[in-house]
Structure 1
Amino acid sequence: MERLWLEHYPEEIPTSISYDEKPLYAYLQDSAAKYEKKKALHFLGKELTYGELYEQVCSFASYLQGLGLEKGDRVAIMLPNTPQSVISYYGVLLAGGIVVQTNPLYMERELEYQLKDSGARMIVCLDILYPKVTNVKGKTDLEHVIVTGIKDYLPFPKNMIYPMIQKRQYKMVVHPEHGGDTHLFESIILESDGDVTPVDIDSKEDLALLQYTGGTTGYPKGVMLTHFNLVANAQMSLAWLYKSKEGEESILAILPFFHVYGMTAVMNYSISIGAKMILLPKFEAKDVLKTIHKEKPTLFPGAPTIYIALLNHPSLSKYDLSSIEACISGSAPLPAEVQEQFEQVTNGKLVEGYGLTETSPITHSNFVWGTRVGGSIGVPWPDTDSTIFRTDTLEQADVDEIGEIAVKGPQVMKGYWNRPEETANVMKDGWFLTGDLGYMDERGYFYIVDRKKDMIIAGGFNIYPREIEEVLYEHESIQEAVVAGIPDPYRGETVKAYIVLKQGSNVTEEELNEYCRKHLAAYKVPRMYEFREELPKTAVGKILRRALVDEEKKKVEEHNQKTI
């Protein structure tokens, strides 16, 4: 296979890297040795140095081993972006365990499924989630519950005020006691001696992480990522962001660490280069603007909806965002309009990247400092091969021919947890089949046209929602847009657009229809528009197209039942 993209690599980016065959936690050990007194974490005014962070990680790891944690045991972490989430993550790995990242927004049914499927013996959770965990504990393999609170790492007087805010917001205050099978994080850090028994790790074989896919179709699957998978993607990130200075960067950590993109592009990358992480436990546009203005982060990995929300905030002009030098946007397509506007506001670089949970996650990106191609996800990262397969024959497609994107590289997963058949379905002769439809141009740049399952077939035409969404985002009144195929008795499916307007803007369905007809072939023009205050999203801000499709299917079913 000819790697057309390599001729476009800037000379600063190596085409191949010599990867460290070491456990992922070794990055923290290295940074703690090199940058002991440097700030590692900033959390709402509270800061920890690299020396302090590693000391607390050792305390946590030692305590887990004291509870009986053995190599390969799974430990769930159900936390937002807090110091405890970083300490727990590296502590589990240092103790020899496997991290199971768990979304704090999960309902009991979702939590029970993930705990059962992973066989997790322990869980670290927020105090407000403790009742939820105890309700499902008896149906799972959980033996120990470790509880922490936001207030545990807040500076004075915020740590005194927060419980009152929590009581008002969540209508409860939880006070579990330290003892038996319940353990308080605060007590662990204070009482543990930090004496960790070394665990022999084979970085290429031993798992560091079970990361569950979103489960938009069927049950979520546990993606098995080894220490080497995650180390490789961190080293690729370092090579790609070659202007970043070790020990000097500060990274805004708004992408949740329980999502693979935030975990790699923010947490693991930060630790690997001795950067300071500015942690925010949830996304509030005004809080993010204030934080950038005050703390001056240099790097800001994010998602399109995050950048869109900031650009459309009425107070945007009051804040200085010029500290931001580089952003890689992931999780969803980045509209060109958003990229241009954000670069104007910050004077930094914003490029689109691409990846999947199964690939640790990043496989492609545009060059941050180099040739960028609008509408493209860029080119494969070092040591990452990519090609397009014809969906019917799995033969390699021609240049500019649409097919399924496949990737191969050191960041590709070991497989799906306890699902060999599903692993075999996506792994073909060493290639991972992504499920995304796209094409490669004559220069080796790749383009996504859509997920295979999101492609709309209307009246015999293949319609790709992303193309329509790009047109909608260029409309001056539209803040967010998503397009989906909904059931239609005549065409099979028809195109529907869901729209969130910018504050103070007004546009009619007729005006949007006229606008789309100027920019799209007639069969691609949405037949219906629905205006909403907000769109359903994942924790990282990815719009849930499937949730909208499911809504429409439910409406059709209810209508059919009424007419029977």
Structure 2
Amino acid sequence: MLNLSIVLEDSARTAPDDTAIVFGDLRLPYSMVDTIANQVANLLVARGIGKGDKVALACPNLPYFPFVYFGILKAGATVVPLNVLLQSREIAYHLDDSDAKALFCFEGSPELPLGERGKAGFEAAEGCEHFFVLPATALATESEYGESIWAALNGMAGEFQTVQTAPEDTAVILYTSGTTGQPKGAELSHQNMLMNAMVSDEMFPRTPGGDTYLAVLPLFHSFGQTVVMNTGFRRRSTIVLMPRFEPGEALALMTKENVTFFAGVPTMFWAMLTKIHAEGVPVPSALRLAVAGGASSPVEVLRDFQQTFGVGILEGYGLSETSPVASFNQLGRPTKPGTIGTPIWGVEMRLIDSDWKTIEGEGPGEIAIRGHNVMKGYYGRPEATDEVMNDGWFRTGDIATRDADGYYAIIDRAKDMIIRGGFNVYPRELEEVLMTHPAVSLAAVVGVAHESHGEEVKAYVILTAGASITEAELVDWCRENMAAYKYPRVIEFRDSLPMTATGKILKRELR
């Protein structure tokens, strides 16, 4: 018997009155989060949903998320978290593809009409039988979109005997962003998810007197789910929920709630630093640990953060398919900025070529991963699973080098690599160089089609506030600082760059 819901249940047993969740003025103790999750489990069982069934959850970072997430797990069912930016057609696809029996959907707001999209997606999905609305107004028992969770939970008992699940039973199906073809659902077992939360917990020292996490990474994404919610609940921390990242608001919340642990993607750290330097916003003083993942952090951002906050950013690496954490710059070992550290406990990494053959020495090569964190496979897609799995090893599609101490450094996504006139150009390397220019605040480099070279190198740049430089001047500077075959011939200035819900720069929209 192993069920991921133990990360909540154990803390609710040992520290029932400790604050589990802060949302605005709301402070909810562990006992209450566990009780509502029990009611959700009772509701699912009452509606005929149980062990092995799939239940979808479309909800931003609100208290509803852990209530429903852990309720589904307690019932022995599988959670299918959905990105809140999906359109109706995409919601229907995910419900059909995962064989979801029910959908819990946030009502949304005028800016994010999630209730409307969710309802339409639910109606278009054939096998999905139950639609529960998570109302925008606290405790509202009615919604124009359907049955409110509060009406449904009325009369449900607050105790529940958690269904016995085996370590290899599927706890969560996480859909990968699908940069190629349709999104695929990575099946992660209770053991995958629980081990990843436990190892993450052991890796980060606890703050005496308890930790406070800022949860601004979306909880529907593997990074926020494992490293913030599940790890935070396991160590009885307080989790401050923030539904949308806004740098000023994040800094204010960190100060107000004495946040000790912040996990984010590089663009979040960049935005907070920009806010501090441009407007003199006070630097939060309680922060003890900052963790980055999701994309490579520019070394300039790492350096600036260390100087500004007095805390280094620890970079890690992982994917939805690896629950997600696979490697980390671990405390107790030297931190090497610009690397993703070394494999976490119980996980192996190696560099391979396209035929799965091991590449010795520095590489470069594609990262392959084996260990307790690797998914069971893609749900309902044996061929897609066979393409990426071999004898327990999972191939990531990420190209990296490895130094003599065993630290890995990502050069780029295999598919982001630009081939210009037969030469391999790695955008990440050029972005690093561009960001050393004082006028450049953020850069994204992509390949664009070119008749004679195949691809040409193009950079999109956000300038530092008040900087004046022309695109031609910046191209000249690049020519002096980068090899002839790789410097960007085209530069376009932008006020902002397109990003995913998790804050990764959407390069496919720039191409």
2:149 equivalent in structure 1 = 185
Which position in structure 1 is the counterpart of 2:418?
Answer: 456
- Corresponding residue for residue 129 of structure 2: 143
CA distance in 1, matches of 2:161, 2:254: 40
Aligned match for 2:335, one of 355, 372, 381: 372
- Tell me the residue number matched to 1:95: 75
SS at match of 1:523: coil
- Shift in alpha-carbon separation, 1:246–1:56, aligned structure 2, 3 A: farther
Q: Partners of 1:150 and 1:348 in 2: how far apart?
A: 37
Q: TM-score, normalised by structure 1?
A: 0.86
Partner residue in 2 for 1:78: 58
Aligned to 1:211: 174
Q: Please, which moves more after superposition, 185-194 or 409-418?
A: 185-194
Question: SS at the partner of 1:36?
Answer: coil
Alignment partner for residue 305 of structure 1, among 237, 250, 267?
Answer: 267
Residues 273-327 of structure 1, C-alpha deviations (whole Å, 9 max, x = no match): 1110000011111111110111111000000000111111166533231211111
Q: Secondary structure at the match of 1:535?
A: coil
| Cα distance in 1, alignment partners of residues 474 and 153 from structure 2 | 57
**1:443 corresponds to:** 405
Is 1:324–1:347's contact at 8 Å kept on the other side of the alignment?
no
Distance in 1 of aligned mates of 2:462 and 2:191: 42
CA distance in 2, matches of 1:122, 1:361: 25
AA aligned opposite 1:98: T
Aligned 1:143-542 pairs, distance under 5 A = 143-152=129-138, 176=143, 182-203=146-167, 205-241=168-204, 243-245=205-207, 248-313=210-275, 317-391=280-354, 393-542=355-504
Contact 1:246 1:274 in 2 (8 A): no
* Deviation of the 1:403 alpha carbon: 1.1
- The whole-number CA distance in structure 2 between the counterparts of 1:189 and 1:248 is 32
CA distance in 2, matches of 1:136, 1:341: 44
User: How far is the alpha carbon of 1:428 from its aligned partner?
Assistant: 1.4
Identity %: 38
Is contact 2:15-2:30 (8 Å) kept? yes
Quick one: distance in 2 between partners of 1:287 and 1:372? 29
Residue 436 (structure 1) shift: 0.6
- 1:72 CA drift (Å): 1.1
CA distance in structure 2 between the partners assigned to 1:504 and 1:232 by the alignment = 48
The ranges of structure 1 where at least 4 consecutive aligned residues each deviate by more than 6 angstroms after the TM superposition are none
Q: Is the 8 A contact 1:146 1:183 kept in 2?
A: yes
Query: Which of 89, 107, 130 lines up with 2:115 in the alignment?
Result: 130
1:231-259 per-residue CA deviation (whole Å, 9 max, x = no partner) reads 11111101211x21487110000000011
Once residues 25 and 192 of structure 1 are traced to their aligned partners in structure 2, the CA distance between those partners, rounded to angstroms, is 19
State the Cα deviation string for residues 73-104 of structure 1 (Å, max 9, x = none). 11111000000011110010001111001111
Deviations 1:486-533 (A, max 9, x none): 100010001000111222222211221232223211111001011112
Give the Cα separation in 2 of the matches to 1:58 and 1:461. 58
Superposed CA offset, 1:305-355 (max 9, x none): 001111111665332312111111011110111111112222223121110
Deviation digits for residues 209-266 of structure 1 (CA, Å, limit 9, x no counterpart): 010000111000000000000011111101211x214871100000000111111111
Question: Residue 111 of structure 2 aligns with which residue?
Answer: none
- For residues 505 and 151 of structure 1, the distance between their equivalents in structure 2, rounded to whole angstroms, comes to 44
Residue 110 of structure 1 pairs with residue 79 of structure 2 = no
Code of the aligned partner of 2:45: Q
- Given that residues 41 and 47 in structure 1 are in contact (C-alpha distance below 8 angstroms), is that contact kept between their aligned partners in structure 2? yes
Higher relative contact order (CA 8 A, sep 6+): 1
- More displaced stretch, 81-90 vs 437-446: 437-446
Secondary structure of the structure 2 residue equivalent to 1:122: strand
Whose strand proportion is higher, 1 or 2? 2
Counting only pairs closer than 5 Å after superposition, residues 17-28 of structure 1 correspond to structure 2 as 22-28=2-8
Which residue is 2:13 aligned to? 33
Query: Which has the higher mean CA deviation after the structures are superposed, 410-419 or 317-326?
Result: 317-326
Alpha-carbon distance between aligned partners in 2 of 1:247 and 1:316, rounded to the nearest angstrom: 32
Report the AA paired with residue 271 of structure 1.
Answer: F
> Secondary structure at 1:52's aligned position in 2?
helix
What is the letter of the counterpart of residue 32 of structure 2? Answer: E
Aligned residues: 504
Measured against aligned partners, the alpha-carbon deviations of 1:346-370 in whole angstroms (never above 9, x if no partner) come to: 2223121110110000101112453
Q: Give the whole-Å Cα distance in 1 for the aligned partners of 2:270 and 2:501.
A: 15
Aligned to 2:49: 69
Report the TM-score when normalising by structure 2.
0.95
Paired amino acid for 2:398:
D
Q: Give how far 1:177 is off.
A: 6.2
3-state SS, counterpart of residue 194 of structure 1: coil
Does 1:50 find its partner at 2:30?
Answer: yes
Question: How far apart, in 2, do the equivalents of 1:103 and 1:246 lie?
Answer: 35
What secondary structure is seen at the aligned counterpart in 2 of 1:301? strand
Q: 1:133-186, CA deviations, whole angstroms, 9 ceiling, x for partnerless residues?
A: 222323212211111234317xxxxx9xxxxxxxxxxxxxx95269xxx43123
- Given that residues 400 and 411 in structure 2 are in contact (C-alpha distance below 8 angstroms), is that contact kept between their aligned partners in structure 1? yes
**d(CA) in 1 for partners of 2:166, 2:359:** 37
Shift of 1:437: 0.8
Q: Is the 8 A contact 1:325 1:349 kept in 2?
A: no
Secondary structure at the counterpart of residue 415 of structure 2: helix
Structure 1 residues 292 and 462: alpha-carbon distance in aligned structure 2, compared to 1, 3 A threshold? same
Instruction: Report if the CA contact (8 A) 2:302-2:337 is conserved.
Output: no
- Deviations for 1:467-488, whole angstroms, at most 9, x for unmatched residues? 0011112222222211111100
Residue identity in the other structure for 2:118: V
Q: Does the 8 Å contact 1:144/1:183 carry over to 2?
A: no
Contact conserved, 2:338 with 2:409, CA < 8 A, in 1? yes
Q: Which is richer in helix?
A: 1
Determine the C-alpha separation between the residues in 2 that align with 1:380 and 1:137: 40
Counterpart AA for 1:364: S
Residue 183 of structure 1 aligns to which amino acid in structure 2?
Answer: E
